[in-house]
Structure 1
Amino acid sequence: RQERQGKRNKGFVQRRVDLKGRVTEVYSQLLAHLRWSFVALEQIWLNSSLLSETGDIFFLEFAEIRRLIEGIDTDLVEQLAEIIKLRRSQLAEHAQINPVPMLVYGNTPPALPLRIAPLSPDHTLQGIAASPGQAVGRVRVLRNLQSIPEIDKEIILVVPYTDSGWAPLLVRAGGLISEAGGRLSHGAILAREYGIPAIMDVRNATWILQDGQKVRIDGTRGIVEISNDLRPE
């Protein structure tokens, strides 16, 4: 009876995880379509000289974009260049702010070794150091939660992003590499709680790295090492 109950509970949890993954996937698709619409709109405005530089549209608020589309706010059009210039300068200033400390409250992270062996890779990827520690393992690329393979501490998960739906996978993995996110992203926080190394903001990681490829990750310095003798099986 307990075994049947355990199976039912496991099935319920799995269905909830699948649902969470599906909701996240649809939400991400909607955001992607919204971004594509903004990019297409920006190209029209670049061609008409309303905007002067690629990326300008992302320094405007949604209400401002709507007013520009309606074409009834001449004052906004006249001030547009200054508004974008100001917000670009604010972004540059914010980039100089001291980074968030590794520990705000909770358990003190593991002390860094006095000497870290230098990396001598044939190829490296650089990202944001999000959870300290080193790990060597086989890459498992997951672009969504629709088909989840067996995962253990020998697996280094490579994902496009992380949210709460990925938590059951991270607790079983030996390390994490994510294309998006920073030190305060959901995956980075979980990795620190679980005590596994994590590197965020590794661009195109899910396309550069391959299933079965052996890598060493350094979550202290944000480095992924790939060597010729660590090729896919």
Structure 2
Amino acid sequence: MRAARPRGGAARRTRPPPGCPAPARAARRCLGVRGRAKVVLDPGIAPADCAGRILVARETDPGWLSLMIAASGLVVERGTLLSHTAVTGRLLGVPAAVAVGGAVARIPDGAWIELDGRAGTVRVLDDRAR
């Protein structure tokens, strides 16, 4: 069964009726962040340990949600744009990079890193670059 098309073939923009307020515009979410890395291999740690830090892990699942909420960014070795990490990061407005091969081994716990969620890049910074 085919979807019904509006007359004229193309979708038309609609305007609010007179007297209705203009639609609200959302603020842009943060797409990048700098901060200290928190390398986590087990989601059983306290969320306070991740508060304000960039969470670095092999992969995540719903059991990691409390840590993801507390984190200021997410770097994960496994995943795609539709993986749990990527979707949850978007919903929370937290910058995320997925499929970062060897992230757990290459990013030391406590290192200063820069995460660009739009480009999907992660850079380890020296302490002077904060």
Partner of 1:225: 123
Higher helix share: 1
Cα distance per residue 1:183-205 (max 9 Å; x no partner): 10011111101101000000110
Residues 64-213 of structure 1 aligned to structure 2 (within 5 Å): 110=28, 133-148=31-46, 150-153=49-52, 155-213=53-111
Question: Are the equivalent residues in 1 in contact too, given 2:111–2:125 (CA < 8 A)?
Answer: no
Cα distance per residue 1:159-192 (max 9 Å; x no partner): 1001111111111110000000011001111110
Unaligned runs of 5+ in 2: 1-25
Which aligned runs of 4 or more in structure 1 are off by greater than 4 angstroms?
none
TM-score of the two chains, using structure 2 as the length reference: 0.71
Q: Report % sequence identity.
A: 32
The farther-off stretch of 182-191 and 142-151 is 142-151
Question: Are the equivalent residues in 2 in contact too, given 1:161–1:180 (CA < 8 A)?
Answer: yes
TM-score of the two chains, using structure 1 as the length reference: 0.41
Higher strand share: 2
Q: SS state of the match for residue 193, structure 1? A: helix
Question: Are the equivalent residues in 2 in contact too, given 1:167–1:187 (CA < 8 A)?
Answer: no
Question: Are the equivalent residues in 1 in contact too, given 2:116–2:122 (CA < 8 A)?
Answer: yes
Which structure has the larger Rg? Answer: 1
Question: Are the equivalent residues in 1 in contact too, given 2:58–2:104 (CA < 8 A)?
Answer: yes
* Alpha-carbon distance in structure 1 between the residues aligned to 2:42 and 2:120: 23
Partner of 2:112: 214
* Alpha-carbon distance in structure 2 between the residues aligned to 1:173 and 1:217: 12
